[in-house]
Amino acid sequence: MRNKHGVFFTKAVCGFICTLGMTAGIGSTVFAQTDADTDNSASFSTDVIYQIVTDRFADGDSSNNPSGDIFDKNDMKKYHGGDWAGITQKIEDGYFSNMGVTALWISSPVENIMTLDPTNQCASYHGYWAKDFFETNEAFGTEQDFTNLVDTAHENGIKIVIDFAPNHTSTAEFAGYTFPEDGALYRNGSLIGTFSNDSAGIFNHESWTDYSTYENGVYHSMYGLADLNQQNATVDSYLKEAIDKWLDYGVDGIRVDAVKHMSMGWQTNWLSSIYEDHSVFVFGEWYNGGTGNDSQMTTFANESGMSLLDFRYANAVRNALGTESATMEDLYQVMVDTASDYEEVNDQVTFIDNHDMSRFMTLADGNGRDVENAYVLLLTSRGVPTIYYGSEQYAQGTTDPYNRGDMTSFDENSTAYKVISALSPLRKTNPAAAYGTTQERWMNDDVLIYEREFNGSVILTAVNRNQNQSYSISGLYTDLPAGNYSDVMNGLLGGNGITVSGSGAVSNFTLGAGASAVWEFTKTDAADVAIGNVDPGMGIAGNEITITGRGFGDKAGSVAFGDTTASVVDWSDSRITVQIPGVAAGEYAITVTNAAGSSSDSYAGFDVLTGEQVSVRFMVNNASTDYGTNVYLVGSVPELGNWNPSKAIGSFFNSTASIASYPTWFYDVSVPAGTTIEYKFVKIDGSGNVTWESGSNHVVTTPADGTATVCVDWQ
Ligand code: NOJ
Ligand code: NOJ
Ligand code: CA
Ligand code: CA
């Protein structure tokens, strides 16, 4: 169907009207909720995450272990029996709580194929080969087992994050092989489509990606994994409804697999639909092997509406402490660079190893002190720290699947476990860990001493990576108030106490070979009103968002988006929940004013969207360009840059055979649903010179839901 503006609707427009304005209960009621509570699923600033490969952690119920050729405890490529019942038991045993862990990231819970990949005899034990996103992976448990896991976690102050892989189903393409499942996608047991008989366009059919460009990675398959076409309206609603099902169990967060391989426009539209009903923390995996700024990755972190796993930070720690191919000064420089590149560096999710790289112990050639010192850095640095299961027991392993071994022990006396136990609680107790800035105080090639600070609270961390040489530390200054401070780890890694004078000078001391120490001051009295974080960082009017920080007071004050007051749902000294007010879409600075009339500094950059979002594919024909010039889109809504070409959407793609090739360009964009938008394409050259289309503006009325494609000629 085509309307007068030249839009093809892939789904009929229906008359759904969004109802806003649930009335908020406020007044002077005192709410006990704090930023550190488990029911704060919006913000993970006070959490320490523990990443579990469900199949490899604990087998709590052998009756659900798969039978046949996909199960073999002695084969790293097959199922080993780990399940939700096993994780539940370890929660009850206190293994996580005693470590200070407050969130578990588990493997994708959805039903996977239960046949071996004929190319490598590998089973779906990792959870990345989905078959039915509405059913459980029976090897991990039943719906009841999942409910028990979520409920037990919450009773123990632990949040649950699920891995989720909306990019693909299972492998379907590898020359010379036939795949028994053919990448099939099901919904509650009913077939939606298969890869090789796909008249409905459920999948992209562009062969394997060569990773050469962003575009190539989005629309081609990752080594033959049947690549879902999220722009297909059936797939779009399937993935929105599927994630809703899991969030309705009470899941607190989502780790989104392979975000680099799906369009940002579709993902923003998916997130916006999630945030309408669920204020949860979402972070994506944009794989990156380096420490430098990748502009597409940074744009995604700042614009998509979700956080990212912080590969730059991980690689910097691995280089400085693992391989020692970089210095501690290099590590600090990455902290500085990321703090300026990421709009919300404290919301990025940090780690030192994971299931796609060598374990830290292996990287460090079996040197346990390197692992322990890496945890000291991880747990005191900005970002939400994640411990990869088993690395606290010094597990080893190079590549997948050998970095995904069974838990070797649950020893609560390993030094690494004790380091984590000592430092994790700082996330809850000292807001400098959760929200603080980062500043270097003393460094050389081997030593990094840095300070985190928030609203008068301070954490000072010193790490000496050189296990053969001690260093005398003189001329060190800190913002810790005058006094004596003992090492938070009680000398576990050779650290000592320090004395701070009234001027902030730290008396000279020796930082032993391979030693590290952490000193802290938590300000408890008369804190200023200070915002630490706002989560999620985007949304539509009426959504609930969470503001965390300190000094808000026990009595409700007010919250403003620009000049507009928001309606308050909950209020406590460290956490406020408000509804996004019905302001015009755009970027807003948020300010909190306490009941006594003191205001916080404003927290910049909150994105109010125009309304519910849909993913629209914009295409323009005959847009010829000189080499180095690219096509972008601007238009009359903030989602299209509000006519400001420096905020234009793109650069557009032009090299996907089944969609469009130069001089036709296309891009999938998240835009307000059911809205009439004016727009134009622009050409921008390598120096930033902008050439506008001539003539009058193009006009499109977007569908109320579903997806759409709009195609015009360059004018
Ligand atoms: C990234 C995951 O972390 C990795 O383990 C997986 O194989 C790919 N995405 C595909 O899902
Ligand atoms: C494709 C490139 O992506 C673009 O930058 C260039 O302008 C056109 N080819 C024309 O050479
Ligand atoms: Ca089992
Ligand atoms: Ca893809």
Say which CATH number the domain at 669 has.
Answer: 2.60.40.10
What is the model's pTM? 0.94
Question: What one-character-per-residue DSSP string does 241-306 give?
Answer: HHHHHHHTTT--EEEETTGGGS-HHHHHHHHHHHHHH---EEEE-----SSS--HHHHHHHHHSSS
Mean pLDDT computed over 229-250: 98
Would you call 257 a catalytic residue per the annotation?
A: yes
Evaluate whether residue 377 is within a structural domain. Answer: yes
Evaluate whether residue 92 is within a structural domain. Answer: yes
pLDDT at 555 over 60: yes
Non-local (6+) Cβ contacts of 535 within 8 A are 42, 43, 45, 279, 281, 347, 545, 546, 548
Domain boundary at 389, 413, 429, which?
Answer: 429
Element (H, E) at 222: none
pLDDT at 128 over 60: yes
Would you call 285 a catalytic residue per the annotation?
A: yes
Write down the pLDDT at residue 122: 98
Mean pLDDT computed over 469-492: 98
At 155-185, the pLDDT tens digits run 999 999 999 999 999 999 999 999 999 999 9
Q: Alpha-carbon distance 102 to 45, whole Å?
A: 11
pLDDT, mean over the chain: 95
Domain boundary at 374, 394, 429, which?
Answer: 429
For the chain, first and last CA: distance in Å? 24
Total structural domains within the chain: 2
Q: Determine which residue's CA is closest to atom 2 belonging to ligand 1.
A: 257
Q: Is 661 in the pocket of ligand 2 (CB under 6 A)?
A: no
Evaluate whether residue 440 is within a structural domain. Answer: no
Mean pLDDT computed over 269-291: 98
Q: Determine which residue's CA is closest to atom 4 belonging to ligand 1.
A: 356
Write down the pLDDT at residue 1: 34
Q: Alpha-carbon distance 371 to 349, whole Å?
A: 18
Q: Alpha-carbon distance 313 to 291, whole Å?
A: 7
Evaluate whether residue 534 is within a structural domain. Answer: no
What is the number of the ligand closest to the CA of 630? 2
Mean pLDDT computed over 686-702: 98
- Which candidate in 173, 285, 347, 453 is catalytic? 285
Write down the pLDDT at residue 32: 60
Cβ(76)–Cβ(70) below 8 Å: no
Mean pLDDT computed over 531-550: 97
At 621-651, the pLDDT tens digits run 999 999 999 999 999 999 999 999 999 999 9
Give the confidence band of 527 by pLDDT, cuts at 50, 70, 90: confident
DSSP E strand boundaries for 296-383: 307-308, 349-351
Write down the pLDDT at residue 33: 84
Evaluate whether residue 280 is within a structural domain. Answer: yes
């590898």: which residue's tokens? Answer: 174
Mean pLDDT computed over 35-64: 97
Give the range of the structural domain holding residue 672, as residue numbers without chain letter. Answer: 613-713
pLDDT at 474 over 60: yes
pLDDT at 18 over 60: no
CATH of residue 350's domain is 3.20.20.80
Evaluate whether residue 1 is within a structural domain. Answer: no
At 326-370, the pLDDT tens digits run 999 999 999 999 999 999 999 999 999 999 999 999 999 999 999
Evaluate whether residue 438 is within a structural domain. Answer: no
Domain boundary at 400, 429, 458, which?
Answer: 429
Q: Alpha-carbon distance 412 to 96, whole Å?
A: 10
Ligand 1 mutation pick, 209, 356, 399, max ligand atoms within 8 A of CB = 356
pLDDT at 12 over 50: no
Evaluate whether residue 199 is within a structural domain. Answer: no
Ligand 1 mutation pick, 55, 257, 285, max ligand atoms within 8 A of CB = 257
Cβ(171)–Cβ(143) below 8 Å: no
Residues with CB under 5 A from ligand 3 (ion): 59, 61, 64-65, 81, 83
At 55-105, the pLDDT tens digits run 999 999 999 999 999 999 999 999 999 999 999 999 999 999 999 999 999
pLDDT at 372 over 80: yes
| Percent with pLDDT over 90 in the chain | 95
